[in-house]
Amino acid sequence: MYLKIARGLLTFLALAVAVGAGSTANAQLEEDPSATEQPPIGGNQTTSITLPVQAAGMNANYYRVHVDGDNFSWQISDVTYEPNSTRNGRTISLGGSPLTLSVRTWGLAVTGSTPTSQYIDFAPCVGPVGEFCNTAGALRFRFKVDPTLTASPATTITADGSNARTVQLVWPTTLSDTAVTASCMANNDVTPPPSITVNSASTMTNASGQATFTITTTNLRRIGTSSTPPSGSCTFRAHANSNNFAKVDVLGQFIAPSLNVSPSSDAAPPPGTTTTERIVTVGTRVPVASGVTVDATCSVEGSAATVSLDGSAPAALQTGSKVTDINGEVQFRVKSEKLISVPPTGAPHARCTFKVRELNSTYEYFAAGKQIAPSVSLSVGQITQTGTTSLTATMSPSYPGFAIVPNCTVNQYIAPVTATPISASTNANGQQTFDIVTPALVITDPNTNAMPSAYCTFRAGGTGTAGLLQFRTGNSCAMSLSPLPPACGNPAQ
């Protein structure tokens, strides 16, 4: 009758100091397939087992002990070892008393659900020591070391960066000073594949059975519409052949964010300025994404207008790019100048388009301009004397930077009138000052029909309602003077 191990008597105690060694020569025996397998014993621990009491009829009075395997150490209570052997010995029939087995598994192979080939046999023996031992009734206890591992946090890594993971190793209590190895792999379905690395490749557990690793990932997020996102994983094991492992998944994504431009437009500048300056905020939406490159292209419509981007020199075309911040946004400073025009130039505008670099969709900011036909008023309406007179012309609506163009006309009886610009264009109040040089306004001609005339018009940009400057002129011979000037002679009637 085969002897069976008592159920439920495996008790885990504190680790004992190992005294055996796995290097004694000629100690390893081949396995006896007729031995009765017992539940495997976990390593790195102290275990109490109970050998059954041998039947009296068998006259058995002890158990033969044989330890098989290398790379581990053991200690068994109440065992007398044979001289020069640490693997073979005997123990008396204990009559149901527990036998304590302490095993340290340094270097012991880990094979998961299948126990290792290393074991301890207890074969019941009859007769005096050295007599027949019933190997067919031997009880075989194998060593199984396959710790449970958990990774914390267990969440999937979905973003680039460094991610700490603590691996807890337990069998059946925490295992300190045990190597945990790590390996990572990335799929090759996307080009280039993501980078997934772990530091370190192997780490010893601390007193709590924990080992900390850092997983570093790059290229997890791609801009585009592909259906296969970057992915991979990192696996942690206590041994290369272990069935138990902790796994941390890595899963990237393809994103195609839309953009929100705020503000999306500006009205034409109010009177007093021809410039619109605006901080334009461009934000990613659906999803909000940091680290995305946004390209900007700004151009103008209307030959006189200019645009500058983030302080660049004004020009008809500007380009730039920025990377979105943690809120998924970038800001561009757009300055649109000379947005007011007069005919024949059409209304000028500035336009900026924004796009995610890898995508085709564009989003717009529009700075409107306008065309005006201003009127001009003059500080002096009439000049009655020769010499130089200062005159201020004001355009309405008033804008700086426009040229008010004078045009002076005289007939054949008077010398030309000149209007000299003091400034080349209107100031901030829409004003421009002129010096008017006036010749003799009164002539003396016996022909009383010879009447001099002169006037000047002032237009902003040469169009719009003109300001009119008049001159008081005359022929002294046609005046009611008494006496008439001698040069009048006999005036024509």
pLDDT digits (tens, 9 = 90+) for 364-401: 999 999 999 999 999 999 999 999 999 999 999 999 98
Predicted confidence at residue 475, as pLDDT, reads 93
Whether residue 249 is predicted with pLDDT greater than 50 in this model: the reply is yes
Instruction: Give me the mean pLDDT over the 427-449 stretch.
Output: 94
Contact by Cβ (8 Å): 135, 123: yes
**DSSP state letter for 160:** S
Instruction: Give me the mean pLDDT over the 185-193 stretch.
Output: 83
Predicted confidence at residue 225, as pLDDT, reads 76
Predicted confidence at residue 137, as pLDDT, reads 74
Confidence band for 445, pLDDT divided at 50, 70 and 90: very high
Instruction: Give me the mean pLDDT over the 400-418 stretch.
Output: 94
Predicted confidence at residue 127, as pLDDT, reads 67
Predicted confidence at residue 241, as pLDDT, reads 66
Percentage, residues of the chain above pLDDT 90: 50
Out of 113-122, 202-211, 337-346, which region has the weakest mean confidence (pLDDT)?
Answer: 113-122
Predicted confidence at residue 6, as pLDDT, reads 27
First to last CA, the chain: 168
What pTM was computed for the model? 0.61
**Among candidate residues 448, 389, 452, the one with its CA nearest the CA of residue 422:** 389
Cβ atoms within 10 Å, residue 313: 8
Q: What angle do CA 232, 286, 158 make, to 5 degrees?
A: 20
For residue 162 the two structure tokens come to: 């460094």
C-alpha pair distances (Å), 417 with each of 294, 386, 388: 59, 10, 10
Burial level of 357, CB count in 10 A (0-12/13-18/19+)? exposed
Confidence band for 222, pLDDT divided at 50, 70 and 90: confident
Contact by Cβ (8 Å): 422, 389: no
Out of 104-108, 278-282, 363-367, which region has the weakest mean confidence (pLDDT)?
Answer: 104-108
Instruction: Give me the mean pLDDT over the 265-285 stretch.
Output: 96
Extended strands (E) in 263-316? 265-266, 276-285, 293-301, 306-309
Tens digits of per-residue pLDDT, 198-221?
A: 998 999 989 898 999 999 999 888
Whether residue 15 is predicted with pLDDT greater than 60 in this model: the reply is no
Contact by Cβ (8 Å): 375, 465: yes
Instruction: Give me the mean pLDDT over the 103-129 stretch.
Output: 65
- Which residues, in sequence order, are CB contacts of 330 under 8 Å at separation 6+? 281, 282, 283, 294, 322, 323, 324
Stronger pLDDT, 203 or 118, i.e. the higher one? 203
CA atoms within a 13 Å half-sphere pointing along the CA-CB vector of 392: 6
- Which residues, in sequence order, are CB contacts of 425 under 8 Å at separation 6+? 400, 401, 402, 403, 432
**DSSP state letter for 487:** G
Q: Are strands 276-285 and 258-262 parallel, antiparallel or unpaired?
A: antiparallel
Identify the helix (H) or strand (E) that includes residue 492: none
Stronger pLDDT, 320 or 71, i.e. the higher one? 320
For residue 119 the two structure tokens come to: 């074991």
Predicted confidence at residue 78, as pLDDT, reads 85
Whether residue 118 is predicted with pLDDT greater than 60 in this model: the reply is yes
Whether residue 352 is predicted with pLDDT greater than 90 in this model: the reply is yes
Predicted confidence at residue 278, as pLDDT, reads 97
Out of 86-95, 185-194, 272-281, 326-335, which region has the weakest mean confidence (pLDDT)?
Answer: 86-95
- Which residues, in sequence order, are CB contacts of 363 under 8 Å at separation 6+? 258, 259, 260, 261, 282, 353, 354, 355
Out of 55-69, 154-168, 189-203, 281-295, which region has the weakest mean confidence (pLDDT)?
Answer: 55-69
Instruction: Give me the mean pLDDT over the 100-118 stretch.
Output: 60
Whether residue 4 is predicted with pLDDT greater than 50 in this model: the reply is no
Stronger pLDDT, 246 or 143, i.e. the higher one? 246
Identify the helix (H) or strand (E) that includes residue 360: none
C-alpha pair distances (Å), 312 with each of 139, 164, 298, 368: 88, 44, 12, 20
Confidence band for 71, pLDDT divided at 50, 70 and 90: low
Out of 63-72, 373-382, 425-434, which region has the weakest mean confidence (pLDDT)?
Answer: 63-72
Whether residue 335 is predicted with pLDDT greater than 50 in this model: the reply is yes
Percentage, residues of the chain above pLDDT 70: 83
Instruction: Give me the mean pLDDT over the 250-277 stretch.
Output: 94
DSSP 42-69: ESSEEEEEEPPPPPGGGTEEEEEEEEE-
d(CA 231, CA 379): 78
Stronger pLDDT, 17 or 120, i.e. the higher one? 120
C-alpha pair distances (Å), 214 with each of 110, 150, 198: 25, 15, 6
Mean pLDDT of the chain: 83
Predicted confidence at residue 40, as pLDDT, reads 73
Confidence band for 173, pLDDT divided at 50, 70 and 90: low
Whether residue 26 is predicted with pLDDT greater than 50 in this model: the reply is no
Confidence band for 112, pLDDT divided at 50, 70 and 90: low
Whether residue 493 is predicted with pLDDT greater than 50 in this model: the reply is no
Predicted confidence at residue 170, as pLDDT, reads 76
Reduced to 3 states (helix: H, G, I; strand: E, B; else coil), residue 137 is: helix
Whether residue 12 is predicted with pLDDT greater than 50 in this model: the reply is no
Predicted confidence at residue 129, as pLDDT, reads 63
Q: Are strands 119-126 and 60-68 parallel, antiparallel or unpaired?
A: antiparallel
For residue 292 the two structure tokens come to: 């995305």
d(CA 74, CA 319): 75
d(CA 171, CA 358): 50
